[in-house]
């Protein structure tokens, strides 16, 4: 089955700096890679996703890159703001029957002003 | 309108008791899930139903019994509760199984004393 590793587990940056979170996956059949943000006491919410037919996707200050050969993908947040402070989860899944999103263990991002 | 709603939001109970958590989605999705988030924030898939049929049953103790009366509802019943069952249980849904966006409910925090 799929296994997703996520690093770092904690990340502290100053407001305005960039933050990068990296994930690797094990199943070469995985073709969908979403990122979820979970604020304290709230539900995980999708912030950006990428499918295996593209290498990069950007949405304002957030971007995701995918390297299928190396089986890793990364989340990039530029110009960080205090409201970016949260736990971020990467995940992976294939289109095979009987699969579900497998999540990394999360990265706690703290942005200090 | 809440897309994925869970009840109760908080549940405090004694070891050995039996409890249930209910989930409903109004998104018209045909696949629903239960995820467990432990104290270390790790999100782990427990079960998945597609059109009322169980398609994923991870290595979860058989004290946990999901039930889907129709594709808009997925309930979780837990027998003989143990201390280690304390966690936040998230219901989620998606349009089809596989590589699709997951929408989470607000979570149900279970505390076993």
Q: State the pLDDT at residue A98.
A: 78
- Which letter does DSSP use for residue A30 in this model? -
Q: Which two tokens stand for residue B44?
A: 């782990």
Q: State the pLDDT at residue B26.
A: 96
Nearest-angstrom CA–CA distance, A103 and A98: 16
Q: State the pLDDT at residue B38.
A: 94
Tell me if B107 and A106 make a contact (CB, 8 A cut-off): no
Chain B neighbors of A54, CB-CB under 8 A: none
Q: What is the mean pLDDT of residues A62-75?
A: 96
Percent of chain A with pLDDT over 70: 100
Nearest chain A CA: its distance from B103 CA (Å)? 7
Nearest-angstrom CA–CA distance, B36 and B61: 13
Q: Chains A, B: CB contacts under 8 A, how many?
A: 59
Tell me if A43 and B107 make a contact (CB, 8 A cut-off): yes
Verify cis geometry, omega within 30 degrees of 0, for the bond prior to A92.
no
CB B66 within 8 A of CB B74: yes
User: E strands within chain A?
Assistant: 4-7, 10-14, 19-25, 32-38, 45-51, 56-59, 62-67, 72-77, 86-92, 102-103, 107-112
Cβ of B60 under 8 Å from any chain A Cβ?
A: no
Cβ of B10 under 8 Å from any chain A Cβ?
A: no
Cβ of B99 under 8 Å from any chain A Cβ?
A: yes
Chain A neighbors of B48, CB-CB under 8 A: 98, 100
Please determine, for residue A53, whether its predicted confidence score (pLDDT) is greater than 90: no
Label residues B56-86 b or e (16+ Cβ within 10 Å = b): beeebeeebebebeebbbbbbebeebeeebb
pLDDT in tens, B40-98: 999 999 999 998 889 888 878 999 999 999 999 999 999 999 999 999 999 999 997 77
pLDDT in tens, A72-88: 999 999 999 999 999 99
Cβ of B13 under 8 Å from any chain A Cβ?
A: no
């Amino acid at each position: 089955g799929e296994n997703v590793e996520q690093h770092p587990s904690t990340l502290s940056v100053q407001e305005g700096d960039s933050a990068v979170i990296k994930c690797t996956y094990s199943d070469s059949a995985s073709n969908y890679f979403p990122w979820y943000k979970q604020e304290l006491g709230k539900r995980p919410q999708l912030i950006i996703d990428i499918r295996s037919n593209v290498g990069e996707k950007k949405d304002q200050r957030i971007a995701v890159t995918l390297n299928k050969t190396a089986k890793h993908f990364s989340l990039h947040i530029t110009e960080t703001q205090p409201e970016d402070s949260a736990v971020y989860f990467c995940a992976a899944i294939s289109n095979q029957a009987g699969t579900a999103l497998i999540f990394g263990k999360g990265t706690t991002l703290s942005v200090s002003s | 309108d809440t897309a994925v709603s869970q009840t109760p939001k908080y549940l405090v109970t004694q070891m050995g008791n039996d409890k249930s958590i209910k989930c409903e989605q109004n998104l018209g999705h045909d696949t629903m899930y239960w995820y467990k988030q432990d104290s270390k924030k790790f999100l782990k898939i427990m079960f998945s139903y597609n059109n009322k049929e169980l398609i994923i049953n991870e290595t979860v103790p058989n004290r946990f019994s999901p039930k889907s009366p129709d594709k808009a509802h997925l309930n979780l019943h837990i027998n003989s509760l143990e201390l280690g069952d304390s966690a936040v249980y998230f219901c989620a849904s998606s349009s089809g199984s596989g590589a699709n966006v997951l929408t989470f409910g607000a979570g149900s925090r279970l505390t076993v004393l």
